[in-house]
């Protein structure tokens, strides 16, 4: 968390709008959260994203994102925007019922939803439908992978609990087609097939998708190049 805050402060000094991730399981206690939130406020941060954090065991007293959201309110911190995560294809280690219950409890303390990295655009649209059916009207940022090597992408997806990324790619394309795609692309994944599926929902107020979120995993140059090429089509 210290590195997150330091990088946020540096980026703000250079004029960037920053959305730091305040991951619950990486915060030791209320005192540290107080220091983190205070420094973010001082740096001019208006938008934070509060995930649970990809640690098997919490480093301190916060087990979940809800714990941090409630503590921030108790400490008196208010940010203009507060994002929470959702899992369109589920989580490999958390039951769907638990995810749904957590969403219901976190939603009143947030201003928008962010879908965790997903390889299935139809699953994102269906998931938003389900969220609306449960009475949650928060706007959504749809998270999709950027451009990167397949091997790195699959490793990161497994680490963060994205359910079945490799099996999904094989299932939807077929094993041989998938292999041709992998070889033909030079071993790099591109989210080209996802955008046409999501696009029709962008203007529909039922879905209330406010923007795409591209997960670059530090492969910013290749993803930005792809983004510009796509916009020029």
Q: Evaluate whether residue 29 is within a structural domain.
A: yes
For the chain, how many structural domains are there in total? Answer: 1
Q: Residue 85 is part of a domain; what is its CATH number?
A: 3.20.20.220
Spatial distance between the Cα atoms of 220 and 222, rounded to a whole number of angstroms: 6
Contacts 24+ apart (CB under 8 A), 188-193: 188/147, 188/148, 188/149, 188/150, 188/222, 189/145, 189/147, 189/148, 189/149, 189/150, 189/153, 190/147, 190/226, 191/144, 191/145, 191/146, 191/147, 192/230, 193/121
For the whole model, what pTM was predicted? 0.85
Q: Evaluate whether residue 186 is within a structural domain.
A: no
Q: Evaluate whether residue 173 is within a structural domain.
A: no
- The residue-averaged pLDDT of 83-111 equals 89
pLDDT, one tens digit per residue, over 143-199 is: 988 887 766 766 666 665 555 445 545 444 444 444 455 555 556 778 888 899 999
Q: Evaluate whether residue 201 is within a structural domain.
A: yes
Q: Evaluate whether residue 169 is within a structural domain.
A: no
- The residue-averaged pLDDT of 195-206 equals 93
Q: Evaluate whether residue 98 is within a structural domain.
A: yes
Q: Supply the range of the domain harboring residue 227.
A: 2-148+191-231
């Amino acid at each position: 968390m210290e590195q997150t805050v330091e990088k946020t402060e540096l980026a703000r000094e250079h004029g960037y709008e920053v959305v730091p991730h305040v991951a619950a399981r990486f915060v030791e206690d209320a005192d540290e959260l107080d220091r983190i939130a205070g420094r973010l406020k001082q740096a001019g941060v208006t938008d934070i994203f509060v995930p649970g954090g990809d640690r098997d065991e919490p480093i301190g007293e916060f087990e979940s994102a809800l714990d941090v959201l409630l503590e921030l309110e108790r400490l008196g911190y208010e940010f203009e925007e507060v994002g929470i995560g959702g899992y369109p294809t589920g989580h490999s280690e958390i039951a769907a019922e638990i995810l749904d219950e957590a969403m219901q409890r976190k939603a009143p303390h947030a201003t928008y939803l962010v879908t965790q990295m997903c390889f299935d655009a139809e699953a994102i649209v269906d998931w938003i439908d389900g969220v609306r059916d449960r009475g949650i009207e928060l706007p959504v940022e749809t998270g999709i992978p950027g451009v990167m090597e397949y091997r790195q992408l699959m490793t990161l997806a497994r680490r963060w609990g994205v359910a079945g990324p490799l099996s999904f790619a094989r299932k939807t394309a077929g094993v041989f087609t998938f292999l041709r795609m992998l070889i033909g692309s030079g071993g790099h994944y591109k989210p080209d097939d996802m955008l046409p599926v999501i696009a029709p929902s962008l203007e529909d107020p039922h879905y209330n998708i406010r923007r795409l979120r591209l997960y670059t995993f530090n492969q910013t140059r290749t993803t930005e190049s792809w983004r510009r090429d796509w916009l020029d089509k």
